């Protein structure tokens, strides 16, 4: 995950006491924290606890965050620590399969959790990329990405764009999304990983690198 | 004629963007409220030295390996400060010790206020009732030091 240039400014402003900057940081990365709690299948109340803990820690940590670009990584790691500790504590009370040492009864495998965590990271990169676009581009892509999907007629009414130009504009917006620092880093990381299992230093160490 | 029954279905990037967007919209509002409200705690620790978490037995294994066997026995945490450190052992209760040993007053604070208080004896030992849930801080005051742990869940 790579952040655009406004995140360091938000971190600086927040550490000076700017609640608006803090809210912007929250809005940006709250979905990442939530996705991590979902990946670990936490109950709603555990997820609320983890969420609150992550943000309280970040408040404490703001002044010490020497490299604001490391913020998403810090958030991801802190959320993972809190979730995995809860999961392990829970497993102590669950029946465990003696052959595999895995919890029995409804627990998902670690590989499922890992896959969900990777997806959470990818989705954050895409939202970061969206934030790096011009507002008009962002607006169109958000309208196109809504669920359930809107018709081109509705989008035309909302944006004032002729129906016939939505398709070509959409293609150009997606191209620009691919060119944002966040999405370029994501795509580059993937092709590098596919070739060499290599240089993904923005991410947690993977077993292959040890 | 509707030529675009599913306008976002034909580009994988747009389809993934739609998933990312709907994941963001699924975040419960209560979590946003709590996250924004956390900022109010920015200045509350002023006058207290923030201790550094030096050891947490729950985190000694690599965070990436969720399958790592949990260590048996109670969770042990060490928070280190310049003049005063705090060791906690979290079992049914929270047993603690000030290092170097000295008497003091220990407060367990949650986001809604003080949850428990205890005196540390001459050896620096204290016992607190373990909180049910939620992030807490342990604040310790002695004759010459006032320190606080960071937010933790015990």
Chain A touched by B45 (CB under 8 Å): yes
The whole-number average pLDDT for the span B96-114 is 95
Mean pLDDT score, A117-136: 93
Residue that wins the pLDDT comparison between B69 and B29: B29
Mean pLDDT of B22-48: 91
**Domain ranges (residues) in chain A:** 1-94+106-125
pLDDT band at A178, cuts 50/70/90?
very high
Instruction: Please determine, for residue A130, whether its predicted confidence score (pLDDT) is greater than 90.
Output: yes
Asked if B34 has any chain A CB less than 8 Å from its own CB, the reply is yes
> How far is residue B47's CA from residue B4's CA, in Å, rounded to a whole number?
62
Separation of alpha carbons A94 and A154, rounded Å:
51
Question: What is the pLDDT averaged over residues B126-151?
Answer: 93
Nearest-CA neighbor of B131 among B148, B149, B107?
Answer: B107
Taking CB atoms and an 8 Å cutoff, what residues of chain B touch A40? 66
The H or E element that residue A188 is part of is helix A181-196
What digits encode the pLDDT tens for the residues A91-110? 544 544 555 555 555 567 88
Closest chain A residue by Cα to residue B13? A174
User: Is B23 close to A144, i.e. CB distance below 8 A?
Assistant: no
Q: Do B31 and A48 touch (CB under 8 A)?
A: yes
Residue written as tokens 């979730």? A83
- B34 pLDDT above the threshold of 90: yes
User: What's the CA gap between A42 and A44, in Å, rounded?
Assistant: 6
- Number of Cβ atoms within 10 Å of the Cβ of A187: 15
pLDDT recorded at residue B4: 44
Over 70: is that where the pLDDT of B65 sits? no
Give the nearest chain A residue to B6 (CA atoms). A149
Reading the block at residue B72, the tokens are 């048996």
Helix count (H) and strand count (E) of chain A?
Answer: 9, 2
Name the band, by pLDDT with cuts 50, 70 and 90, for residue B132: confident
Q: Residue B1: pLDDT above 90?
A: no
Taking CA–CA distances from B18, the nearest residue in chain A reads A145
Residue A18 has pLDDT above 80, yes or no: yes
Nearest CB to B135 within list A34, A56, A142: A56
- A-chain residues near B4 (CB < 8 A): 151-152
Q: Determine contact: B23 vs chain A, CB below 8 A.
A: yes
> Model-level pTM?
0.81
Decide if A55 touches B, using CB distance below 8 A.
yes
| B14 vs A45, A113, A174: nearest CB | A174
Take residue A47 and report the two structure tokens written for it: 């997820």
User: Domain A1-94+106-125's class?
Assistant: mainly alpha
Domain ranges, ordered by start, for chain B: 43-148
Q: Is this complex scored with an ipTM above 0.85?
A: no
> Terminus-to-terminus CA distance in chain A, angstroms?
21
- Of B93, B84, B89, the closest CA to residue B57 belongs to B89
For chain A, give the percent of residues with pLDDT over 70: 80
- Asked if A77 and B59 come within 8 Å (Cβ–Cβ), the reply is no
Q: Per-residue pLDDT averaged across B31-48, rounded? A: 90
To test the contact with chain A by mutation, choose from B2, B63, B65, B150 the residue with the greatest count of A C-beta atoms within 10 A, namely B63
What number is the average pLDDT over the span A67-77? 88
pLDDT at B67: 45
Say yes or no to pLDDT of A197 above 70. no
Range of weakest confidence among A18-32, A45-59, A185-199, B108-122: A185-199
Determine the distance in angstroms separating the CA of B32 from the nearest CA of chain A, rounded to an integer.
Answer: 7
């Amino acid at each position: 995950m790579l952040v655009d240039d406004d995140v360091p400014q938000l971190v600086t402003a927040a550490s000076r006491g700017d609640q608006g900057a803090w809210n912007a940081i929250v809005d940006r990365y709250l979905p990442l924290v939530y996705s991590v709690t979902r990946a670990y299948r936490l109950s709603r109340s555990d997820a609320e606890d983890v969420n609150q803990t992550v943000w309280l820690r970040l408040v404490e940590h703001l002044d010490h965050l020497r490299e604001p670009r490391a913020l998403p990584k810090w958030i991801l790691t802190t959320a993972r620590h809190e979730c995995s500790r809860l999961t392990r504590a829970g497993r102590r009370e669950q029946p465990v399969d003696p052959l595999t040492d895995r919890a029995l009864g409804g627990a998902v495998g670690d590989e499922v959790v890992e896959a969900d965590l990777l997806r959470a990271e990818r989705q954050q990169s895409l939202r970061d990329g969206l934030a790096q676009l011009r507002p008009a581009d962002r607006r169109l892509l958000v309208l196109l990405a809504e669920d359930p999907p809107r018709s081109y007629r509705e989008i035309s009414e909302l944006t004032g764009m002729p129906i016939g130009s939505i398709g070509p504009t959409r293609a150009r917006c997606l191209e620009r999304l691919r060119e944002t620092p966040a999405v370029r880093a994501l795509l580059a990381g993937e092709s590098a990983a596919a070739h060499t299992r290599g240089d993904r230093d923005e991410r947690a160490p993977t077993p292959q690198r040890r | 004629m509707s030529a675009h029954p599913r306008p976002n279905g034909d580009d994988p990037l747009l389809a993934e963007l739609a998933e990312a967007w709907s994941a963001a919209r699924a975040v419960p509002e209560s979590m946003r409220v709590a996250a924004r409200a956390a900022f109010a705690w920015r200045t509350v620790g002023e006058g207290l030295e923030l201790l550094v978490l030096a050891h947490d037995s729950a985190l000694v294994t690599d965070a990436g390996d969720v399958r790592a066997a949990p260590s048996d026995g109670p969770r042990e945490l060490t928070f280190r400060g310049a003049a005063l450190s705090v060791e906690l052992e979290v079992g049914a209760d929270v047993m603690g010790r000030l290092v170097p040993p000295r008497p003091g007053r220990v407060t367990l604070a949650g986001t809604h206020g003080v949850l428990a208080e205890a005196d540390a004896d001459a050896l620096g030992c204290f016992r607190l009732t373990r909180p049910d849930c939620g992030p807490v801080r342990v604040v310790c005051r002695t004759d010459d030091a006032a320190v606080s742990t960071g937010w933790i869940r015990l």
